[in-house]
Amino acid sequence: MSVVVNHISKKFGNQLALNDVSFSIKAGEVVGLLGANGAGKSTLMKIITGYLPSDGGYALVGDLPVGTNKTAFRERIGYLPENTPLYHEMYVREYLLMVAGMYRLKHKKNRVAEVVEITGLKPEITKRIGALSKGYRQRVGLAQALIHDPEVLILDEPTSGLDPNQLDEIRNLIKNLSEKKTVILSTHIMQEVEAVCNRVMIIRNGEMVADGPVDQIKKLTKQKRQTVKLTISEAVNMNQLNKLSFIADVSRIDENEYLITASVDEDDIRPKIFEAAVRNGWTIISMQEESRSVESAFRELTK
């Protein structure tokens, strides 16, 4: 099922939290919504799920405009809100049965058993939600989002606060789910997008600043190469430095000080410079990174 967002804006007081955001997601796409704190990710998700009205533009889930025909609309969307608000006094099974009831599911018990299995909640099923660890609470949140088998999943930071093992499990779970569903998930973490999504949208100050296949956006952020300032005890022949395959460009900034630009595909060339120095008998006095490729470009895009 497709999701269309068309010229959506949202104001809080005189703050423009979303500024004319438009995109269109095809059925089966898994989209990572990437942005810094306060960028507008949660606001956008609340608007798509119909929890918050927009101040302009419209959104469609499949053929249904957000905000109309509430029951049919709710049936097609599963939403994991930020900070998974849950009823802490309720037991896991009791809560999921209640949610199944809200969707008027026919075989409530069977369906609860299924989502408990899918989300790995079985060992914790008899506990009160308030007694669960953060990761398991997150799984309850996922279970309630999945229970009515919606075609579209909107997951607001589904892996926040999870330990590395749980992180892997939840990412795999989302990946498996995404085979049959359209998924939009928000995150601060580029690696998460790489691990789970095939498309990434970067949002900054309420504006969409990049949207495309993950590979393409990664390339975009890699155009920034690492530069290293190198000081060697005596002047070396620039040709010797230029010959090194991991170096794209060298300029001399002082008698024995060089500014080195890494080749495109290099991540961190400092260990290679060190090895080359040992091989050639140069004494390195200092080696300093001037800019960091992927992270700095990512920071530029999101901040």
Handedness of CA 229, 230, 234, 240 (dihedral sign): negative
CB of 41 to ligand ATP, least distance (A): 3
Q: From residue 127, how far is each of 10, 23, 109, 118, 166 by CA, in Å? A: 39, 41, 17, 18, 19
Q: Rounded CA gap, 51 and 119, in Å?
A: 25
Q: Looking at the DSSP assignment, which residues form a beta bridge with residue 153?
A: 78, 183
Beta-carbon contacts of residue 219 (< 8 Å; ≥ 6 apart): none
Which of 39/96 has CB closer to ligand ATP? Answer: 39
With CB under 6 A as the contact rule, the residue among 17, 100, 244, 297 that binds ligand ATP is 17
Whats the size of the chain, residue-wise?
303
CB of 39 to ligand ATP, least distance (A): 4
Q: Which stretch binds Mg ion (CB under 5 A): 33-41, 218-226, 253-261, 278-286?
A: 33-41
Query: Number of residues in contact with ligand ATP, rule: CB under 6 A?
Result: 11
With CB under 6 A as the contact rule, the residue among 5, 30, 42, 99 that binds ligand ATP is 42
Residues 61-120 that bind Mg ion (CB under 5 A): 82
Q: Looking at the DSSP assignment, which residues form a beta bridge with residue 10?
A: 18
Q: Looking at the DSSP assignment, which residues form a beta bridge with residue 56?
A: 9
With CB under 5 A as the contact rule, the residue among 10, 42, 190, 260 that binds Mg ion is 42
From the list ligand ATP, Mg ion, none, partner contacted by residue 37 (C-beta under 5 to 8 A by kind): ligand ATP
Which of 38/130 has CB closer to ligand ATP? Answer: 38
**Residue 302 engages Mg ion in binding (rule: CB under 5 A):** no
Cβ atoms of residues 4 and 59 within 8 Å: yes
**Residue 12 engages ligand ATP in binding (rule: CB under 6 A):** yes
Residues 75-134 that bind ligand ATP (CB under 6 A): 82
The Cβ-side half-sphere exposure at 106, using a 13 Å CA radius, reads 0
**Residue 43 engages Mg ion in binding (rule: CB under 5 A):** no
Which of 36/118 has CB closer to ligand ATP? Answer: 36
Which of 190/232 has CB closer to ligand ATP? Answer: 190
CB of 37 to Mg ion, least distance (A): 8
87: phi then psi, degrees, rounded to nearest 5 = -85, 105
DSSP tag of 226: P
Cβ atoms of residues 284 and 232 within 8 Å: yes
Which of 4/155 has CB closer to Mg ion? Answer: 155
From the list ligand ATP, Mg ion, none, partner contacted by residue 177 (C-beta under 5 to 8 A by kind): none
For strand 30-34 and strand 227-232, is the pairing parallel, antiparallel, or unpaired? Answer: unpaired
Which of 43/54 has CB closer to ligand ATP? Answer: 43
**Residue 14 engages ligand ATP in binding (rule: CB under 6 A):** no
With CB under 6 A as the contact rule, the residue among 41, 137, 148, 199 that binds ligand ATP is 41
Q: Looking at the DSSP assignment, which residues form a beta bridge with residue 228?
A: 260, 289
Residues 190-209 that bind ligand ATP (CB under 6 A): none
> For the chain, give me the number of helices (H) and strands (E)?
11, 14
Q: From residue 285, how far is each of 78, 145, 229, 232, 234 by CA, in Å? A: 57, 57, 11, 5, 10
